[in-house]
């Protein structure tokens, strides 16, 4: 289900949250760029948006700032939880993989030599 603000037809609510109509770009992505001090024109060009889309998004963020900021913080929290989960999962996975190889395995030795040459652990 989507809902639109009459005055900001480029902004719709989807199952992904607030998005730019006709795209998969969320308002939260735009906020990342705005918080990094990107000028709206650069954001527009980078994400291949129209002037109306970027204007509608920025107007929507300004008008509904409390609601949008609250949702943005929720998105950031969820993203951090996901990052931590996958980081821990991958650490455990990589440890299992490393433990399953013999130091005398020629393929393993070649990989280790390549990693050393690249300055990796």
Please list the pLDDT of the chain residue by residue as tens digits (121 residues).
344 455 667 899 988 899 999 999 999 999 999 999 999 999 999 999 999 999 999 999 999 999 999 999 999 999 999 999 999 999 888 888 877 777 778 888 888 899 999 998 7
Q: Are 20 and 11 in contact (CB under 8 A)?
A: yes
pLDDT of residue 1: 39
pLDDT of residue 6: 56
pLDDT of residue 92: 85
Number of domains in the chain: 1
pLDDT of residue 9: 77
pLDDT of residue 19: 94
pLDDT of residue 8: 63
DSSP 38: -
DSSP 45: H
Q: Are 13 and 60 in contact (CB under 8 A)?
A: no
pLDDT of residue 3: 47
pLDDT tens-digit readout, 10-31: 899 988 899 999 999 999 999 9
| Domain region containing 39 | 3-117
pLDDT of residue 2: 42
Q: Closest Cα to residue 8, out of 68, 70, 69?
A: 68
Q: What is the DSSP track for 51-119?
A: HHHHHHHHHHHHHTHHHHHHHHHHHHHHHHHHHHHHHHHHHHHHHHHHHTS-TT-HHHHHHHHHHHHTT
Q: Are 78 and 70 in contact (CB under 8 A)?
A: no
């Amino acid at each position: 289900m989507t809902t639109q603000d009459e005055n900001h037809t480029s902004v719709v609510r989807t199952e992904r949250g607030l998005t730019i109509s006709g795209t998969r770009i969320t308002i939260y992505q735009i906020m990342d760029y705005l918080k990094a001090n990107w000028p709206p024109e650069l954001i527009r060009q980078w994400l291949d948006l129209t002037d109306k889309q970027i204007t509608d998004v920025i107007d929507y963020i300004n008008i509904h700032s409390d609601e949008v900021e609250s949702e943005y913080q929720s998105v950031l929290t969820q993203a951090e939880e996901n990052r931590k989960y996958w980081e821990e999962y991958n650490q455990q996975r990589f440890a299992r993989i490393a433990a399953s190889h013999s130091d005398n395995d020629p393929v393993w030795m070649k990989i280790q030599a390549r990693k050393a040459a690249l300055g990796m652990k």
